[in-house]
Amino acid sequence: MPNLMREIPLLLAATIALSSQVAAAPAKAPIEANSEILIDAVVASVDEKPITLNEVRERLSTPRKITLKELITDHEAQEALDAIISERVLEAEASTKRVSVDDAEIEDYINEVAARNSLSRPDFEAVLKREGKNIDWYRRQVKGEITKTKLASSIAKGGISVSDQEIDDYLSSSTSLTSDEASLKLRVITVSKAGRTQDDLDSRVKSIQGALQLGRSFESVAKDFSDDPNKEEGGLLGTVAENDLSSHILDAVTSVETGKYSEPVVTDTGVQLFFVEQRFAAKGDDDDDNEDRQKARREEARKVIQDRKTKEKLSSYFGVEIQKNHTVDKKF
């Protein structure tokens, strides 16, 4: 038997000119000539699971009817299709890796984000609406991010090896880690003034201080609250010689004990809190002190290299490997 499905067009968009006999049929309401009938179509697939034209229509900023011809030329529709494909690929990979994200995780995350921004859930959704988004859109973003985090954890679980030679090479090129001057290993949380009123700024700083006072690590709070580009590294500034610190940082950390954080420091662009992770005295004659300094430097170098190699591995995984693991057929 021939495969009739292959003979059926993906989209039927036809102009129907009715004959006088059909138009006069008493059992049916008259249909205007040149009316357009749109039937759903499969426009792409991931691992042979279809993505339909209706799904694309529903993802548009203002859901609207769209024909196959319009899909091909409509930039927003193409972006919506690409977004759906990316989501499906991520879902397929998560299924392969036995990674799942349930609704409760998504809702807890959204409620936490709202609370961190001092917003009730209705207020948070109102902000989304003002930005031209809705809660369903945000749920999809959250699900994707949680899925990526879980996949990244599973990929990085095996650990990243770092050789002694790599550490030696890194130390030889890092003047901050090989300096014989007094130095500090620092982390920072930055709260930017950009886009915030003074009340918003003060509220966010208080939220940060509250989280730290409750015992959360400075590193985790930095990841959640900091506006600094190094937030994903827990606000790590690295080991810096005291002589290389700007005056406002040096003043802030001079009296801070190791393992403690500074009072908020107001700058022209916002507010910063600094955490003193380690202190290193200037190199002297004390062999034990110099040995401790060297061990600490090598350990920091190892972590920096591990972080860099992990980022490279995950970048390759999410950017290239996932696509190779699944079959994507974009028909238009």
Q: Which residues contact 226 (CB under 8 A, 6 or more apart)?
A: 188, 189, 190, 191, 235
Do the beta carbons of residue 317 and residue 33 sit within 8 Å? Answer: no
Task: In whole angstroms, give the CA distance from residue 167 to residue 177.
Answer: 11
55 lies in a domain? yes
94 lies in a domain? no
For 102, the 3-state DSSP assignment is: coil
The pLDDT of residue 15 is 29
Q: Are residues 198 and 278 in the same domain?
A: yes
Q: Are residues 153 and 221 in the same domain?
A: no
Instruction: Give me the CATH number covering residue 204.
Output: 3.10.50.40
329 lies in a domain? no
Q: In Å, how far from its chain's centre is CA 232?
A: 10
Strand partners of residue 45: 50, 329
Range of the domain at 144: 103-158
Residue among 188, 150, 171 at smallest CA distance from 305 = 171
Task: In whole angstroms, give the CA distance from residue 305 to residue 166.
Answer: 8
Q: Are residues 154 and 170 in the same domain?
A: no
Q: Which of 25, 57, 84 is the last residue of a domain?
A: 84
The pLDDT of residue 284 is 60
Do the beta carbons of residue 227 and residue 270 sit within 8 Å? Answer: yes
- pLDDT tens digits, 169-182: 988 887 655 556 77
DSSP 145-184: HHHHHHHHHHHHTT-----HHHHHHHHHH-HHHH--S-EE
Task: In whole angstroms, give the CA distance from residue 145 to residue 206.
Answer: 27
The pLDDT of residue 184 is 86
Q: Are residues 181 and 299 in the same domain?
A: yes
Q: Are residues 177 and 299 in the same domain?
A: yes
- What is the residue whose two structure tokens read 């990085």? 156
Q: Are residues 149 and 213 in the same domain?
A: no
Q: Are residues 122 and 142 in the same domain?
A: yes
Task: In whole angstroms, give the CA distance from residue 98 to residue 181.
Answer: 50
326 lies in a domain? no
Q: Are residues 77 and 111 in the same domain?
A: no
The pLDDT of residue 55 is 94
The pLDDT of residue 248 is 87
Counted domains in the chain? 3
Task: In whole angstroms, give the CA distance from residue 308 to residue 316.
Answer: 12
Q: Which of 19, 52, 84 is the last residue of a domain?
A: 84
Task: In whole angstroms, give the CA distance from residue 245 to residue 121.
Answer: 42
The stretches in the chain having pLDDT less than 70 are 1-39, 175-180, 283-290
- pLDDT tens digits, 259-291: 999 999 999 899 999 999 988 777 664 556 667
Three-class HEC string of 206-274: HHHHHHHHCCCCHHHHHHHHCCCHHHHHCCEEEEEEHHHCCHHHHHHHCCCCCCCECCCEECCCEEEEE
309 lies in a domain? yes
Q: Are residues 187 and 299 in the same domain?
A: yes
Question: Which DSSP category does 62 fall into?
Answer: S
Q: In terms of pTM, does the model score above 0.75?
A: no
Q: Which residues contact 171 (CB under 8 A, 6 or more apart)?
A: 177, 178, 297, 298, 301
Q: Are residues 204 and 259 in the same domain?
A: yes
Residue among 316, 280, 296, 284 at smallest CA distance from 167 = 296
301 lies in a domain? yes
Q: Are residues 168 and 285 in the same domain?
A: yes
- What is the residue whose two structure tokens read 């022209």? 268
The helix (H) or strand (E) run that includes residue 46 is strand 42-46
Measure the CA dihedral 226/229/235/239, to 10°. Answer: -150
93 lies in a domain? no
- pLDDT tens digits, 58-75: 999 888 888 988 999 999
325 lies in a domain? no
Q: Are residues 240 and 296 in the same domain?
A: yes
